[in-house]
Structure 1
Amino acid sequence: MQNSGNQKPQKPALRIVRLPRWEIGIYLVLSFGSHLYSFYEVHKISRDYEDDLDSEFELEKGFFIWGFKKDPTDFEWSFWTEWGKRSLLWTLLGHVIISQVTSVVISELRLWFLMAYGMMACLFVLGLKGLVVILLHTLASFTVAQLRRPLLSWLCSLMLLYTLHMSSLEEIQRDWYETENEYYLLLFSLAICSLRYTSFSLEHCWYQSSEKKYKLFLWMLAYLFYYPVFHNGPVISYDEFSKQIQKQQTRVSKMEVYALTLSICRIFLWWWLAESMIHLMYIHAIPSSNTVLDAVESWALGGLALAQVLFFYVKYLVLFGIPNLVVRMDGIEPPRLP
């Protein structure tokens, strides 16, 4: 019998065939075993050339019980862990205390207390001149946003971002600080702030607001100086921030305490894994040394590539996991971790 003109022939149903468990098990064993063996080869190269790498890159003294030295050549990890131990973890703890106390005592003023704390923490970490530079960038972006032209706001943000690459301003700002890391912290903070004041300016251009200008500027400061994401992100758009920060329910429930405790344990395990990797395998120093890299065999070379990818992943789980945890305690839904 022929199909009628208005009927379409049905497609045959797709049949999903699952691999047998024994085959999946073989693949897992082969994959896991090859990874472990390649990591072992990287570990052997690291031990064999430890003295050469130490003289070239000044490996740091490790703090684990097995006494291995630590590869410090991943700038980002070394930079943020050093600042974390130095001050950032303590300033984040101060934010948590201020946020939880004000949410119980004076919840209607909580946002402005957080803004004031963020500015004081910025003053403490970056100094008065660093705070003034950030305020000047903010004021310039807010002024241009009043014209309600998205293109002008984008151009303003690009011009402010370009000032970070001007050699004359760079030399002036370097002279404010005793160490390079202090200057770099200002640089990173300004770069992240540029994303936030661009978000605020575009929202202001796209949507009409009945708020007076001084109130809008205060909201911009509250958004910009929200401290958990101030120095390194992750970036939360102004629209999401303004909606979620005004929630009445900000105290942490028992279920949330359990989830937060679990998150703290996970962050600690990720940090421990990252530190173990740069103690057991010098995965960043070896590729930077031509002499050592020429001696690396294929298995070790594959292990280096895989270990660097995994370290990059774990590193951002830690660097973004800590501020994400604090943001969740404030009742805000942060961006998902990688």
Structure 2
Amino acid sequence: MGWTFMALVVSHCIILYSVALVKKKWMCFAAGLSTLASIKLEPYNSWQEALVTGSFDLQDILFYGGCGFSIMRCMSFALENCDRKEGNYTFSDLLKYNFYLPFFFFGPIMTFDRFHAQANNTQLTRKEREMWNITTKALLHLGVILVVDVFFHYLYILTIPSDMKLVNKLSDWCLAGLAYSNLVYDWIKAAVMFGVINTVATLDHLDPPQPPKCITMLYVFAETYVYDYIGENHDKIFKELLATVCTFAVTTLWLGPCEVVYIWSFFNCFGLNFELWVAKFFSIPPFSIMEEAMGEAMSRRIRGVFNAANFWAIVLYNVLSLNSLEFAKLVGRRIIFKGGLKSVQDHTQHLKCE
């Protein structure tokens, strides 16, 4: 990446370390978000990107990955320094935290307090069968990488959505499978990246964050510093709204402000809050009394209907970020409107036959 790129990253560290010494959290957030925006907004973006010497395939990915994750780590450092009662952490603490190579380009982001405690632990011991587990995970990830590589020679799940003429000719089932496969691929990519990095970090006696859960499982939004810090237990409507807005404001800056990112952030933010609104609404009488009166099986079926709708909402607005707005619109029309109408017509015809 060149020494000028390294100098750029160090300059980010110097700026945010200087702000951290003031010990004002709002200043740390403001400085961090401004620095994060600078690598995505013109003309600051072009100027910084030009500092990378040479030209190669992964240049953009490594530039944004290195700068983006570096700034997020500096924000974590600054916030932890604000909470420190006596004195400040040293600049060398920040450099060790930021330039630990396995985490540098792609994360996962381990918050500074956890990294500092684990990296300075002098009592290094291995748990029983820990090396066996590390070896097993390494071989498993290698196997997944090989399987995905073979699949890419025969399944064109990433390139087919770009050909709208071909996509329009696909059946509803095929289109739904294609959209779902894109999400599974994205999860596998994240799981492998996290898994390989985690395996290396575990060899260094660290306990890194775990890989994301599979997209086939409905789950509460992944743990993040901003989301959990503001949302706390995620059971208060106003705090949840504030936590999601702040989280996706950071994410929007990280990914780069544009139409697709705005739409993706809005619907993700709305979806998380809608889950809480629905849960709160149905927890009040008479709905809570009705659920208590009905059987457990019927309660599961009703919850299943809402979860299925929520699951396909997750599919749709993540397909938007993975592919294109046109492909997401087509999937939405075909699955929700056309597919939903066809299901109603089939059900009506079935009733007539009976």
Bigger relative contact order, structure 1 or 2 (CA pairs below 8 A, ≥6 apart)? 1
Match in the other structure for 1:67? none
Say which of 53, 77, 83 aligns to 1:177: 53
Q: Where in structure 2 are the equivalents of 1:41-56 lying within 5 Å?
A: none
Distance 1:284 1:240 in 2: 37
2:2 alignment partner, SS class: helix
Q: 1:317 to 1:183 in 2, by over 3 A?
A: closer
Say which of 14, 17, 33 aligns to 1:142: 17
**Is the aligned partner of 1:224 residue 2:98?**
yes
8 Å CA contact retained: 1:144, 1:152: yes
**Is the aligned partner of 1:194 residue 2:71?**
yes
8 Å CA contact retained: 2:32, 2:75: yes
**Is the aligned partner of 1:276 residue 2:150?**
yes
1:166 alignment partner, SS class: coil
**Is the aligned partner of 1:162 residue 2:33?**
no
Distance 1:324 1:148 in 2: 31
Distance 2:65 2:194 in 1: 15
Distance 1:165 1:315 in 2: 24
Say which of 86, 102, 120 aligns to 1:209: 86
Show CA shifts across 1:81-128 (max 9, x none): xxxxxxxxxxxxxxxxxxxxxxxxxxxxxxxxxxxxxxxxxxxxx211
- Letter matched to residue 146 of structure 1: L
Match in the other structure for 2:204? 330
Task: Give the Å deviation of 1:265.
Answer: 1.2
8 Å CA contact retained: 1:260, 1:325: yes
**Is the aligned partner of 1:259 residue 2:133?**
yes
Q: 1:304 to 1:183 in 2, by over 3 A?
A: closer
Task: Give the Å deviation of 1:305.
Answer: 2.1
- Letter matched to residue 139 of structure 1: I
Show CA shifts across 1:198-226 (max 9, x none): 01101111122346xxx611111111111
Count matched residues.
210
- Letter matched to residue 53 of structure 2: Y
Task: Give the Å deviation of 1:274.
Answer: 2.1
Task: Give the Å deviation of 1:246.
Answer: 1.7
- Letter matched to residue 291 of structure 1: K
1:178 alignment partner, SS class: coil
8 Å CA contact retained: 1:145, 1:204: yes
- Letter matched to residue 164 of structure 1: I
8 Å CA contact retained: 1:270, 1:317: no
Distance 1:162 1:205 in 2: 22
Task: Give the Å deviation of 1:252.
Answer: 5.0
- Letter matched to residue 237 of structure 1: T
Q: Aligned-residue CA RMSD in angstroms? A: 1.9
Show CA shifts across 1:23-79 (max 9, x none): xxxxxxxxxxxxxxxxxxxxxxxxxxxxxxxxxxxxxxxxxxxxxxxxxxxxxxxxx
- Letter matched to residue 261 of structure 1: T
Task: Give the Å deviation of 1:150.
Answer: 0.4
8 Å CA contact retained: 1:197, 1:224: yes
Of stretches 184-193 and 293-302 in structure 1, the one that deviates more from structure 2 is: 293-302
Task: Give the Å deviation of 1:253.
Answer: 6.4
1:165 alignment partner, SS class: coil
Distance 1:253 1:206 in 2: 32
Distance 2:113 2:201 in 1: 16
- Letter matched to residue 130 of structure 2: E
8 Å CA contact retained: 1:228, 1:327: yes
**Is the aligned partner of 1:296 residue 2:296?**
no
Q: TM-score, structure 1 length as denominator?
A: 0.58
Larger radius of gyration: 1
Q: TM-score, structure 2 length as denominator?
A: 0.56
8 Å CA contact retained: 1:138, 1:197: yes
8 Å CA contact retained: 2:194, 2:210: no
The runs of 5 or more residues in structure 1 that have no matched partner are: 1-125
Q: 1:152 to 1:210 in 2, by over 3 A?
A: closer
Structure 1 segments (4+ residues) deviating >4 Å: 251-254
Task: Give the Å deviation of 1:183.
Answer: 3.9
Show CA shifts across 1:157-192 (max 9, x none): 011112112323333344343326324412221100
